[in-house]
Amino acid sequence: MVALMVAASAKPMPPPYRSHNVLPRVLAFYHHWKKIYAASQSLGGLFAIDLTLGLSTLSTGSTFLLWFGPTPRLAVADPEFIREVLLARADRFDRYESHPMVRQLEGEGLVSLRGDKWAHHRRVLTPAFHMDNLRLLLPFVGRTVVDMADKWRSMADASDGEVEIDVSDWFQVVTEDAITRTAFGRSYEDGKVVFKLQAQLMAFASEAFRKVFIPGYRFLPTKKNTSSWKLDKEIRKNLVTLIGRRQEAGDDEKLEGCAKDLLGLMINAASSNSGRRAQPVGPITVNDIVEECKTFFFAGKQTTSNLLTWVIVLLAMHPEWQERARQEVLDGCGAGGVPSREQLAKLKTVSHLIDRITLTLTSNSILRVRRADIQHALQLGMILNETLRLYPPAVATVRRAKADVELGGYLKIPRDTELLIPIMAVHHDARLWGPDAARFNPARFAGGVAGAARHPAAFIPFGLGARMCIGQNLAILEAKLTVAVILQRFDFRLSPSYVHAPTVLMLLHPQYGAPIVFRPLSSQPSDQPVKR
C-alpha cells in the first residue's frame, strides 16, 4: 500500500487542469484494488469476498475486500450502504482508532471519543456552533480577512501591481483566528498563546507522520520527541492556568452579547456536574477540556484552511466561474467596503448550507453583524459545494462493526470487521454524478445538495449522521466570508510555478503549495465605508 501511495505522489497531474480525476493519485491503494476486481468481472467472474471472514457476499464493484498490510477491510462505496453505516444503523459501528501520530495531534476529544462520553461532550459543545452564536464571532473574523486583503494589496502595489502568494500559508492565519475565538472567546489572547504552542507541536507530529512508522519510536527520548513532550507539557500547563482563571471569573452566559465558547461551555458543564450523583460517563475533567482544545485546533484549522485553498485554486483554474461569482459580488456590493445588510439581501452568492448573515462596516472600521432571512445560494454556494465534492478534506473514513450486522438485507458483516468508506471515490463516481463527474461544474448544485446526485448519501464532505462534523457551520461561514472578500477585491490566476498535486497528509492538501497571482481590482482601500 505504501509503495502505491509513494509512486502515485511522485507524479503530479498534467496541465491544463480541466479534469480533476485525482482519485488514482490520492487513493492509489483503493484505485488499485478496484481495478483488480473490475478485471475479474470482465473475465466473466466475480472475486468472492473471503469467506474465512464470514462475509457472505461477492464483489459488486462498489463493495469489495482490500488489504492494509495484514488487515482486511471491506471497501463500501455504495451510498445506500453508507447511509446505513453512518445514519440508519450507526449504533452498530464505532469510529476506527486513529494512527498513534494522528491521535497525538487530534487529542482525545470528540473525534476520538466513543459511546456515552462522546454523546455527553457533543451535547455540551454543540451550542458553540449554532448560527446565532457564530454570528457574534463574525465581526472579528471579518476584520482578520480584511486585514489579510489589505496586506495583499500593499504587496501588489509594491511589486508592479500584482503579487504571487501561497494561499495555503496565508489561510492558516484566518482559520487560526476563527478557531481561537470559538474555543476561547473572551480569553482570546491567552488562547492565541496556547494555540501557537499547539501549532509547533503539530509541525513536529506532521513531520513524524511522513516517516515510516516504527512501533514504540515515539516513546524514545530523541531530540524531537523530547521537544514534543516539553511542548505538550507547556500547553497543558497554560490551559490548566487559563481554566482556573475562567472558573474564578464566573459564567460566560451572564455576559450579554458574549458568544458561547468551547472553553466556557465545558467549564460550566464541569461545574454543574460537581456535587451530583455519579453519571454514566462521569463529570467533564480538566484533562477532558485540554484534549477537546487540542482536537478543535487540529480539526478546525486544517479542514477550513484546506477548503479555502482548494476553492481559490479551482477558481483560478476556472476563470469563467471566478468571474460569474465576482460579478454577483460586485453587482450587489460594489468594489469597496464589506457587504452591507441591504446589499447582501440582494446578493445570491451566499451559501445555502447556513443562515444568511449581514456585515456593515462603520466609520471606525468595526464590523457589525446581524442575521437576515435564510435564502438559497447560487454561485458561491454552488462553488463551495463543488469544491467539497472534488476535494473533500477527509478522503476516506473507517468504521468498525461492534456486533454482527446485516446491510441491505443481504450483506452480512461480522463483528470487528473494518469498513473503509472512500469519500472521494463516492464523490467522483460517474454513476452517481454523471459523465462529467471529474469536471468542475458547480451548476450541478443549482437545485441544492439533494438533487445534485442520484442518491442523497453521495455527498458527504462532513460525514453523515450523529457524528457529522460539529464545526461544519463554522467552516462554511469562514469560507463564504473569506472568498467573498477576495472576489470583491482581486482578480487572480494560477502562478506559472503551480503544480497540481493533491496529496493526503491526514487531510487533503496541495503537495507543493498553492501559489496564486493576485491583482487588485481597484485602488480603493478595503476599509473604506460603503457608500449608500
Among 112, 43, 41, 27, which residue's Cα sits nearest to residue 75?
27
258 belongs to an annotated ligand binding site: no
User: 33 and 63 in contact (C-beta within 8 Å)?
Assistant: no
271: left (phi over 0), alpha (psi -120 to 50) or beta: alpha
Burial of 440 (0-12, 13-18, 19+ CB in 10 A): buried
The residues, ordered by sequence, that sit 6+ positions from 488 with a Cβ below 8 Å of its Cβ are 326, 329, 330, 333, 335, 339, 521
DSSP-H helix ranges across 60-165: 79-83, 100-106, 115-125, 131-134, 138-157
Residue 57 phi, psi dihedral angles, 5° rounding:
-155, 175
Residue 393 near residue 507, CB atoms below 8 Å = yes
Q: Report the run of H or E that residue 484 belongs to, with start and end.
A: helix 472-489
CA distance 385 to 290: 33
Question: Which residue in this structure is represented by grid cell 468504521?
Answer: 399
**Smallest Cα–Cα separation from 462: which of 313, 296, 308, 307?**
307
Determine the Cα–Cα distance for residues 172 and 166; give it in Å rounded to an integer: 11
Rg over alpha carbons for the chain, rounded to the nearest Å, is: 24
State the residue for C-alpha cell 472475486.
47
CB atoms within 10 A of CB 413: 27
Give the number of other CB atoms < 10 A from CB of residue 300: 25
Output the known binding site for heme: 469
